[in-house]
Amino acid sequence: MRLVLRVVGTWLIGLAIVLIVIDGTKSLAANGLVMTPFGETWSTLHAASLEAVRDFLATRFFSNLLDAVFAAILTYPAFAVVGVPGIMLALMGRKPRQYQFVETERV
């Protein structure tokens, strides 16, 4: 299970790096800071799936709350939306540390 978490986390971190490089090149071209929102990136890649997720959330019990949270997530920078879960998954998949407390002799 740890392997799956680390692999998925690594892929998400890699995607976040690609997205931040894209934003960096846009920032250089615009001569200012540009951060592409996640919603814009998603609609560029596959707009039909974005609408399908919106329709799915509209049919759920807490649809108003889910719609507000989803709308907020769509306004965040794409590299942050992908990178933060990637870092969390990679950290959850790491090997637990074993601390060894060795006491030295005092003379």
**Cα 88 from chain centroid?**
9
In a domain, 106, yes or no: no
In a domain, 98, yes or no: no
Indicate if 42 and 67 belong to the same structural domain.
yes
In a domain, 5, yes or no: yes
User: Does the pTM exceed 0.75?
Assistant: yes
Distances in Å between the Cα of 83 and the Cα atoms of 9, 14, 59, 62 are 8, 8, 29, 27
Residue-range definition of the domain harbouring residue 58: 37-76
What is the rounded average pLDDT of the residues 32-38?
94
In a domain, 16, yes or no: yes
How would residue 96 be classed by pLDDT, with cut points 50, 70 and 90? confident
In a domain, 103, yes or no: no
What is the rounded average pLDDT of the residues 55-61?
92
